A and B are shown apart, each in its own frame.
Chain A
Amino acid sequence: SQQGEEDPQALSIQEGENATMNCSYKTSINNLQWYRQNSGRGLVHLILIRSNEREKHSGRLRVTLDTSKKSSSLLITASRAADTASYFCATDAGGRQGGSEKLVFGKGTKLTVNP
């Protein structure tokens, strides 16, 4: 069963707008990662946030993590048509402390950015 669940399942916005995707998970984690998948391609790693971090930035991406609520959000600012893709959160699945083996993915949010 999925550890992380993304919300919403689908999101359609206009170019230039911000896109926010949320991820909720069930058990304690050591870190959380976000990935992007273009149609017909493999997943590409975007950003990793550790359980002792609250916020992380990478270019137009901003990720927050609230371990008390077991949730994370991915914000894409000033979206572009090229950001159209599916976005997945992934969490470790309760491996050994400090380093976990499995990475479990949610079902993703399908983002469409209209030009």
Chain B
Amino acid sequence: DARVTQTPRHKVTEMGQEVTMRCQPILGHNTVFWYRQTMMQGLELLAYFRNRAPLDDSGMPKDRFSAEMPDATLATLKIQPSEPRDSAVYFCASGLDPGAASPLHFGNGTRLTVT
């Protein structure tokens, strides 16, 4: 049963440290989305890619966040330096183009705690 894999599942780090979250999308999916979920804001779209090219990262704080797809099997989300307000669950999801007209498949998320 194909699924999106995210690592790590949990990450606790101190303020100022670099955090890298990884996502392996489902083979054959050409769109990848990064979302952040908090109680206050719900699910926020941070960035998304189609065929490995970044299409929109307007939801992402540019000064500290970066998202890349080094190859079709790996998407990364990096925070440098991390801050306590970055504490959240980060989800990766993959799907088929066009992204919003087909179901998205979500990973189980990375729960990030920045102290």
Q: Which of A13-21, A43-51, A73-81 contacts B (4 or more CB under 8 A)?
A: A43-51
Whether A99 sits at the interface, judged by CB under 8 Å, is yes
Whether B43 sits at the interface, judged by CB under 8 Å, is yes
Kindly identify which residue among B48, B107, B108 contacts A101, using a CB–CB cutoff of 8 Å.
B48
List of B residues within 8 angstroms of A105 by Cβ: 35, 42-43, 45
Per-residue CB contact flags for chain A residues 3-28 toward chain B (1 = under 8 Å, else 0) read: 00000000000000000000000000
Assign chain A's interface to a size class.
20 to 34
In the assembled complex, the Cα of A42 lies from the Cα of B108 at a distance in Å of: 4
B10 to chain A, nearest CB (A): 11
Query: Contacts A31-B100, A45-B104; is A103 near B91 (CB within 8 Å)?
Result: no
In the assembled complex, the Cα of A93 lies from the Cα of B33 at a distance in Å of: 14
List of B residues within 8 angstroms of A48 by Cβ: 101-103
In the assembled complex, the Cα of A40 lies from the Cα of B4 at a distance in Å of: 15
Whether A107 sits at the interface, judged by CB under 8 Å, is yes
Per-residue CB contact flags for chain A residues 65-107 toward chain B (1 = under 8 Å, else 0) read: 0000000000000000000000010111101101111111111
List of B residues within 8 angstroms of A107 by Cβ: 42-43
Residue of A nearest to B111 (CB): A40
- Whether the Cβ atoms of A101 and B99 lie closer than 8 Å is yes
Q: Which of A35, A43, A93, A106 has the most CB of B within 10 A?
A: A43
- Whether the Cβ atoms of B93 and A43 lie closer than 8 Å is yes
Q: Which of B48, B56, B99, B107 has the most CB of A within 10 A?
A: B99
- Whether the Cβ atoms of A101 and B104 lie closer than 8 Å is no
In the assembled complex, the Cα of A40 lies from the Cα of B109 at a distance in Å of: 8
- Whether the Cβ atoms of A88 and B43 lie closer than 8 Å is yes
- Whether the Cβ atoms of A102 and B45 lie closer than 8 Å is yes
Residue of A nearest to B91 (CB): A42
In the assembled complex, the Cα of A101 lies from the Cα of B49 at a distance in Å of: 9
Given contacts A35-B104, A100-B100, A103-B99, 6 further A-B contacts (CB under 8 A): A2-B42, A33-B100, A41-B109, A43-B104, A43-B106, A104-B45
